[in-house]
Structure 1
Amino acid sequence: MRTVAVLLVAALVVLSGCAGVVPTDSDDPLVGGGDDADTPAPTPTNGSEGVTSPPPDFSDPESDTLGWEGGYWYNESIDVEQDDGLNDEELAKVVNRSMARVEYVRGLEFEQSVPVEIVPREEFRAQQSNSTTPENRRLFDNVKFEALFMINESTDSIETQNTNTGTSVGGYYSPSEERIVVVSDSPDSPRLSEITLSQELFHALQDQKFDLAKFNQSTREKHNAVDGIVEGDGNYVDYLYGQQCAAEWDCLTDTRGGGGGGGLANIGPYLVKYQPYSDGPAFVQGLREEGGWDAVNAVYENPPQSTEQVIHPDRYPDDEPRQLTLSDRTSDSWDRLRPEGRVAYAELGEAGVSAMLVYPLYTRPGTAIVSPQQWLNRNESGGVSEFDPLNYANRYSDGLTGDRMAIYQNDAGETGYVWKLTWEDESEASEFLDGYEQLLEYRNASAVDADGPGTVYRIPEDDPNGFADAFRVVQDGDTVLITNAPRVEDLDSVRSPN
């Protein structure tokens, strides 16, 4: 029987070797998703609707047709040998046939070809390390992850996430450049996994059909919510493509593996961003089972508005999030941080709250606010599911209807924040408060005497993890308000309780 430690390691393996869409926000680095899956799902055994069967000699059609691209049918053999790496001619063959296969699986026609470039991982890592982020946006991002007790004040969150990206990403599609990059660990003899390539080709197809740039992904919550369809569809297509490879197609694989050969710098931000890659495929699978690909296509016109709608597919699209406001009530030298190029607030949603409460599982073995049995979805053999490995639904985060965080800075350069979270009802808010207070206890916080509403907690100044701060936690019916400041005496300056 597998131990909890082994299962958690297995979950980390599931999260590696990923692909995705390059986001346009420079402080929101690329994160990845899953590969093949092990959960039953419909397989296009007779081809997608509208796919033309190729002639026996695989001759080219008179005009472009679904399931054929660039001179190759979806089930046509190609003369490619990648043991010594792919040359340009071989890469072109693989790309064209893979485009035809994506069309076959998904039932959508490419409007134009997509350039594919193979980039050495070291070059990709250097690109991530050399990316620039305005200082106020960097500080804003630091505080956001500090609020989740994942990255402390002395650690650069952007650098941490860029390191994660350089380690974990197997490929990406850039909407702004309309090109695909496959990240290679062996630049002298580049190989690729056809499954990784298929997802990036599908992202290009998504962009051609649905315009990925049109979506509002201005906060982490909005980003994850939209990715429920964007990455969910992409990873579901991966699954179906992989099933065809296992059953009928001869597909290229990179048996040397990928993922950069190194560990993540910090799994916390990765867990926050991984949610749509875990829950999205099941969300899309359910849509397809109910209404076919037409039902999936329709979601691009009405994408999920919250991670709740993807974590709990039965709540899409009717259970809409609350649109919260959060007024500034500062004094002394405290002012709101308004980073250039982005909205002046954060939203973390159910995915962020769930990841915050799960994170202790990965940082202190044997410590659990959310148990491993609740967190890990398993397949019939007892291993971690590759189709939907992580369960972001738990009793502490369930029922969140909206959140908003404002971040503040004083003249000394110190930071604080106010985080407002609303729930379906008072009982759900109390459940969250129970989980959050367990998290404070895990971080060595203790309650202190202080005037004003709620309970004030203090993490000691000598905290070895770098989270020494004060917190005022107030529940008012279905709302929980968390105020953070460097010291207890600063709490009222960050937010006046009156």
Structure 2
Amino acid sequence: MKRRPTAAIALALMLVLAGCSAGYQSPAPEPAPPPDDERLGYYDGYWYNDTFEFDAADGLTEGQQEAVVSRAMARVQLLRNQRFEERVDVDIISRREYREEFGNVTTPTPGDDARVLQNTQYEALLLVGSDRDVVDVRRGNRGDNVLGFYQPGAERLVIVSESDPATLEGELTLAHELVHALQDQRFNLSSLPTGTMDTVNARNGLVEGDATVVENAYQRNCESGEWECVSVDTGTSAGAPGENFHFGVYYAGFFPYSEGPSFVNYHRERGGWDSIDPMYDDVPDTSAEVVYPRTYGTDDYGTATVADRNDTEWNRVTPTNGPDHATVGQAGIVSMFAYTLADDYDRENALIDSGAFYNRNATTGRLDSTRPFTYDVSYAEGWYADRLHAYAAGDETAYVWNVTFEDRANATEFHGGHADLLEYWGAETVETREESTVWRFTAADSPFDGAVWVERDGRSVTVVHAPTVDDLGDVYAPADG
């Protein structure tokens, strides 16, 4: 029987989409004249500490909405120490309108080869079996939980309202997305690098960490009474995760929101916002840099290599657009172990202690609202690089994945944990030779199938997966043969 997620985990799911609820009906306030100087706490007629004489009730008029948005822009400028170059267009639409207009826009579908590579990396992480598609899993995860988003290419900010007709129901989602609009105007978000899972998680650690730090400061000012706000809501109104929610995929994608703020605060505390702005010209390369902020811009990380030893029957999957390999990084590796805390397969035998991943408040026992998960567990310590190649023969797929660590001890730790994971998911050993083992998934209820060969060599671990034991040598022929 499937278990519904706990309330604490559900709260963490909503953090990135945190919003507020309110509505107004009295006249919009008269805008104030611009100040003589260029103070950041003013925008288009409104100061950051303005109070409005309308009550949360039946929704906002167009004038009231413009006033709230202008005041929010003034607040974001003040908190972020950056000025908007132009006014941000904010569209407030109902949930019904969102479904009709955007559908799956927020979860784009990659090309066929890119999709195979993407699915293969999630199979290597033992998160999603070969019979499921990760794009569909992500769409199922998002469900009706989107509260707002910003589109850099269209320069459009969208807030999703639970009311119909739609009205602005709060300021926190608005504040978060306004930061993205500000980032786009000042740093051109469309120019930031894309690529592997690790590249995206690292980049977004900066982008989402920046926005979340500002949002958290905005929320503190609202909750303390320092600022009058429409309302403050942690976003739980968007709904709890559904019965089929996939926490493993969620953990891999939530990384920027949980670790990003700590990364931004680490550098901001040492150099102010002036130390953050230049990072948009040199974004973090790896999720490990975000987990360990002191390593940003150092040579602590490198590259892993995979030699293509595939038989002619197996063709390397090389997408036309995007990288020809996958790199999951520290965030991906931690997620593969953390998933055992939340899945329904064998949760009682999870491979890590909940305290190693869940960051709970010592007093309440609830997940920390600003950093619910910690992507630093022993099995991922010392991560240096990883690289995965995918192969296809007809409808069958296979992969070769090399994970390299700083030293032999860290590689040994991961090697042992990975073996435990294979066993956890229903694999049995077929053959063992010193540091090399062949496994085969045999459990009828396991989401995974096929055969796996794993070898630790010095500070590297190589994992090969194929449909059968006999196929392993065709996908990755022995070096001496």
The correspondence for 2:207, drawn from 223, 230, 243, is 230
Aligned to 1:23: none
Checking the alignment, whether the CA contact within 8 Å between 1:16 and 1:169 is kept in structure 2 is no
Matched letter for residue 156 of structure 1:
D
User: Which shifted more, 487-496 or 380-389?
Assistant: 380-389
The correspondence for 1:180, drawn from 153, 157, 166, is 157
Cα distance between partner residues in 1 of 2:95 and 2:67: 23
Matched letter for residue 289 of structure 1:
E
Matched letter for residue 312 of structure 1:
Y
Checking the alignment, whether the CA contact within 8 Å between 1:14 and 1:389 is kept in structure 2 is yes
Shift in alpha-carbon separation, 1:215–1:336, aligned structure 2, 3 A: same
The correspondence for 2:331, drawn from 351, 363, 379, is 351
Matched letter for residue 120 of structure 1:
S
Say whether 1:69 aligns with 2:51.
no
Report deviation, 1:317: 2.4
Aligned to 1:489: 470
Checking the alignment, whether the CA contact within 8 Å between 2:94 and 2:166 is kept in structure 1 is no
SS in 1 for 2:63: helix
Shift in alpha-carbon separation, 1:186–1:35, aligned structure 2, 3 A: closer
Aligned to 1:107: 81
Cα distance between partner residues in 1 of 2:309 and 2:401: 13
Aligned to 1:192: 169
**TM superposition score normalised by structure 2:** 0.89
Checking the alignment, whether the CA contact within 8 Å between 1:128 and 1:162 is kept in structure 2 is no
User: Structure 1 stretches of 5 or more lacking a match?
Assistant: 20-33, 37-56
SS in 2 for 1:449: strand
Shift in alpha-carbon separation, 1:123–1:470, aligned structure 2, 3 A: farther
SS in 2 for 1:173: strand
Cα distance between partner residues in 2 of 1:477 and 1:165: 41
Say whether 1:165 aligns with 2:145.
no
Matched letter for residue 270 of structure 1:
Y
1:66-465 correspondence to structure 2 within 5 Å: 66-125=40-99, 127-129=102-104, 132-247=109-224, 248-253=226-231, 257-260=236-239, 262-263=241-242, 265-363=245-343, 364-381=346-363, 382-411=365-394, 413-449=395-431, 454-460=436-442, 463-465=444-446
Aligned to 1:14: 12
Cα distance between partner residues in 1 of 2:380 and 2:457: 17
Say whether 1:479 aligns with 2:460.
yes
Shift in alpha-carbon separation, 1:340–1:463, aligned structure 2, 3 A: farther
Matched letter for residue 415 of structure 2:
L
Checking the alignment, whether the CA contact within 8 Å between 2:14 and 2:236 is kept in structure 1 is no
Over the matched positions of the two proteins, sequence identity in percent amounts to: 34
Checking the alignment, whether the CA contact within 8 Å between 2:19 and 2:147 is kept in structure 1 is no
Checking the alignment, whether the CA contact within 8 Å between 2:172 and 2:232 is kept in structure 1 is no
Checking the alignment, whether the CA contact within 8 Å between 1:236 and 1:284 is kept in structure 2 is yes
**TM superposition score normalised by structure 1:** 0.86
Checking the alignment, whether the CA contact within 8 Å between 1:305 and 1:321 is kept in structure 2 is no
Cα distance between partner residues in 2 of 1:144 and 1:406: 9
Report deviation, 1:138: 2.5
C-alpha distance after superposition, 1:249-305 (max 9, x if no partner): 011226584324552631211100111110111111121211111122232232212
Q: CA RMSD in A?
A: 2.5
Matched letter for residue 282 of structure 2:
N
Cα distance between partner residues in 2 of 1:350 and 1:201: 29
C-alpha distance after superposition, 1:99-141 (max 9, x if no partner): 0000111111110011111233344345344754433333222
Shift in alpha-carbon separation, 1:463–1:90, aligned structure 2, 3 A: farther
Report deviation, 1:168: 3.0
User: Which shifted more, 439-448 or 212-221?
Assistant: 212-221
SS in 1 for 2:149: strand
Checking the alignment, whether the CA contact within 8 Å between 1:191 and 1:254 is kept in structure 2 is no
Shift in alpha-carbon separation, 1:147–1:271, aligned structure 2, 3 A: same
